[in-house]
Structure 1
Amino acid sequence: MKRKLQNTTNKLIPLVVILVLLIIWQGVSSFGLIPKYMLPAPSDIGKVLVGDFPLLMENAKVTILEAFIGLVLGIAAGFIMAVLMDCSQFIYNALYPLMVITQTIPTVAIAPLLVLWFGYGIAPKVILIVIVTFFPIAVSLLEGFRMADSDMIRLMKTMGASKIQIFIFVKLPGSIGQFFASLKIAISYAIVGAVISEWLGGFSGLGVYMTKVRKAYSFDKMFAVIFWVSAISLILIKCVGVLQKKCMPWEEK
């Protein structure tokens, strides 16, 4: 009973803090302390979310599709790199610095180049998402592989197990927790990366819609898009958490 009460309290605290911040925000905007064209009231943003919901959903479908394709390819690239680096120290020394370099390049700086090279279609957006998502996946999986139970590995070696068998039955299962932790980060990066890439060119998507309303000085609509992007990211992260519980039932207390 005490544990359930504690869990409920832990869930309510963030909601209460968010509610208090929204109330303060509403008061600041309503009393004119900050002009509404600079900081629209939450009530105005809510009206836009309701009124433009069909349009936001239509653009969100494009952004989510781009994020999904890029995330899948990013997971595949991260997994392959993690396996290669775990198999060979030489490959680790060769690849890891290059991976770090890719993360030091500002996303906003590389996006225009991708649009220049690959046009305004889906390709540059997917490539950008792959660049921002593969790194956390690769690093977390590599850490999981290297944290595998050394006693179990020695036992399997004495039983004549091959490197592939050790990987499949020891290293891979032991890295599931790290994988899901990195997936929560990567999935938020994927949505943000898709939106940023759409700022610089495209025909539809939340980033394209945000650019249009910004040029029209409709800042209430721009804030509505920001809220919508955050909501999508939170929903997807929650879905990853549910999937993690299904795949790792032994972690439940």
Structure 2
Amino acid sequence: MRKIWIPAVFLAFLIVMWEVSTRLFNIESWILPAPSIILQEAVQSWTNYQHHISSTVVLTLSGFAIGVSIGLLIAVLLHVLPFVRQMVYPVLLLSQNIPIIVLAPLLVIWFGYGTLPKIIIITLVCFFPVTIATLDGFRQTNRELVHYMKMAGASKQQMFTKLELPHALPSIFSGLKISATYSVMGAVISEWLGASKGIGVYMTLASSSFRTDRVFVAILLVILLCFILFGAIILIERFVLRWQYVKGENR
């Protein structure tokens, strides 16, 4: 419980200081609205942005699922085929040096303003953390157990399914948690390309009309979506790796 309360109290302190500062220094709300104004706007404007939330959620989950699937597939291929890893791995590293915001206009030119370029953007930001984390998990497999299974006559398939994959699960979930936060960010960025609805669209409209309070509402929604998706993955991780958590609690 202490791990939860300490950051919660600190966050509450920052919010109070924010509220007091805006009132003490008479900061205009269009420059920096107080938390109370943001909360009031979030409640009163619910009907204006609720459809934007559902659009972003669908886009996020679709891109996240595709990105994770591609990331896991690439990791397995690179692990099973070392010669492919030597060729492809440097290209993967180079791909992450290209800013998504720069690549986005090209995707619009190539694929138009539909859903496809948005899914591609989310996929690009999601697959890499999963691929790298999974590969690291495979590399960290206990060498003594590998030697033991080889001595026992285990096939490569048995080695992978019975030993390497279970050992890599903690690393895989670490990659999933990173990709979860990236997927929401990728969805919002992709909606800036010309979508008709979504949190990114709501944020753009609020910014262009100098409704800073609504911009902060959009930021708050993004944070909440990240927390919800992150928390869902943690719950799944605790269920799948419950043996590891039980072991940790007994220490």
User: Which is worse superposed, 24-33 or 181-190?
Assistant: 24-33
The alpha carbon displacement at 1:33 in A equals: 4.7
SS of the residue corresponding to residue 24 of structure 1 reads: helix
Letter in 2 for 1:137: V
Q: Are the counterparts in 2 of residues 26 and 42 from structure 1 also a CA contact under 8 Å?
A: yes
| Distance in 2 (alpha carbons) for counterparts of 1:55 and 1:159 | 64
Give the letter aligned to residue 18 of structure 2: W
**Which whole-Å deviations, capped at 9, do the CAs of 1:74-113 have from their partners, x for residues lacking one?**
1111111111111232211111111111111111111121
Identity %: 35
2:232 corresponds to which of 236, 239, 244: 239
* Deviation for aligned residue 1:32: 3.3
Q: 2:58 aligns to what?
A: 65
Aligned: 1:39 with 2:36: no
Runs of 5+ in structure 1 lacking a partner?
Answer: 1-7
| Partner-residue secondary structure (3-state), 2:96 | helix
* 1:34 to partner: Cα distance: 3.1
Find 1:151's aligned residue among 125, 144, 162. Answer: 144
Please state whether the residue corresponding to 1:38 is helix, strand or coil: coil
Q: CA–CA distance in 1 between the matches of 2:113 and 2:25?
A: 41
TM-score computed with the length of structure 2 as normaliser: 0.94
Q: Any residues of structure 2 matched to 1:62-141 within 5 Å, and which? A: 62-141=55-134
Which of the residues 193, 196, 203 maps onto 2:189? 196
Aligned partner of 1:212 among 205, 211, 227:
205
Q: Give the Å deviation of 1:224.
A: 0.5
Q: What is the rounded CA distance, in whole Å, between the counterparts of 1:37 and 1:146 in structure 2? A: 52
What SS is found at the alignment partner of 1:104?
Answer: coil
Aligned equivalents of 1:61, 1:112: Cα separation in 2: 25
21-30 vs 111-120, which deviates more? 111-120
Deviation at 1:53, TM superposition (A): 2.2
- Opposite residue 163 of structure 2, the aligned amino acid is V
* CA deviation profile, 1:142-186 (whole Å, cap 9, x unmatched): 111111122222222222221111100101111110111111110
Partner of 1:12: 5
- Give distance in 2, aligned partners of 1:128 and 1:84: 22
**SS state at 1:160 partner:** coil
**Which moves more between the two structures, 23-32 or 213-222?**
23-32
Amino acid at match of 2:140: M
Normalising by structure 1, what TM-score?
Answer: 0.93
Give the letter aligned to residue 78 of structure 2. Answer: M
Count, aligned residues: 246
Query: Distance between the aligned counterparts of 1:28 and 1:113, measured in 2?
Result: 43
Return the alpha-carbon distance in structure 1 between the equivalents of residues 17 and 98 of structure 2: 37
Rounded Cα–Cα distance in structure 1 between residues aligned with 2:67 and 2:157: 23
SS at structure 2 position matched to 1:175: helix
Residue 218 of structure 1 aligns with an amino acid whose one-letter code is: R
Secondary structure in structure 2 of the residue aligned to 1:246: helix
